[in-house]
Amino acid sequence: MPDAATFGFFVAAALALLLVPGPAVFYVVACGVEGGRVAGLVSCLGVEVGILAHAAFAAVGLSAVPASSATAFAVVKWLGAAYLIWLGLKRLLGRDEEDAPAAVEPEPLSRLFSQGVIVRVLNPKVALFFLAFLPQFVDSSRGDAWVQILVLGATLAVLGLLTDGLYALLGGTASAALGRRGGRFRRVQRYFSGGIYLALGAASAASGSGKD
């Protein structure tokens, strides 16, 4: 473990980064707006499990692969972008509840969770961020570096659960307000979430390397 002062600085720096809305925030807000507070929180949990996966990748050195291989970076980036665009098209082309012959089943929570994990894992910029950020707080004199990276990554995931969870709740609150107004506003919810996914996919496809 890093010493207390270093760990405290890490927490402060991580919170400062997490509180700035980024792709993960827009994703969980979209899930919350479309499915409500529980859906937003479940998608947030999936995103943070994806953070734990990236921490494990960094601990064993896999995060260096996208940094050293342009091909690997591009493959992961395009997979992630294609997945987000597919989610967006699925939402936008879906049937409106008011036109459906029967009530539309809500998205299963297990699917929302897995989508959150996939969206986060298929973002190579997160791997690069871990590669650049976490080692700054590792002290080789205080134990194995990989253990410290895992601890720091887990801490980042817990902090992300708190900050992203707040945004997810805000999205869910907006969903509850819209839901009380009938089918027209449910269509707005669907268009909003689909548009967010498409925008995130397009941004991912167009971007280079960088944080989040």
Average pLDDT over residues 152-171: 93
Q: What is the DSSP letter of 103?
A: P
Structure confidence at residue 185 (pLDDT): 59
d(CA 212, CA 200): 11
Q: Is the pLDDT of residue 44 over 50?
A: yes
Are 195 and 84 within 8 A, CB to CB?
A: no
Q: Which has the minimum average pLDDT: 55-64, 69-78, 170-179, 201-210?
A: 201-210
- Residues for the chain: how many in total? 212
The CA–CA distances, whole Å, from 175 to 4, 127, 172, 185, 186 equal 41, 32, 5, 9, 8
Average pLDDT over residues 136-145: 81
Whole-angstrom Cα distance, residue 71 to residue 148?
29
Residue 107 has pLDDT above 80, yes or no: no
In this structure, what is the dihedral angle of CA atoms 26, 110, 48, 155, given to the nearest 10 degrees? 150
57-95: pLDDT as tens digits: 888 877 666 666 677 777 877 887 888 888 888 878 865
Residue-level pLDDT at 164: 93
pLDDT at residue 166 is higher than 80 = yes
98-106: Cβ within 8 A, 24+ apart: 98/182, 98/183, 98/184, 98/186, 98/187, 106/35, 106/39
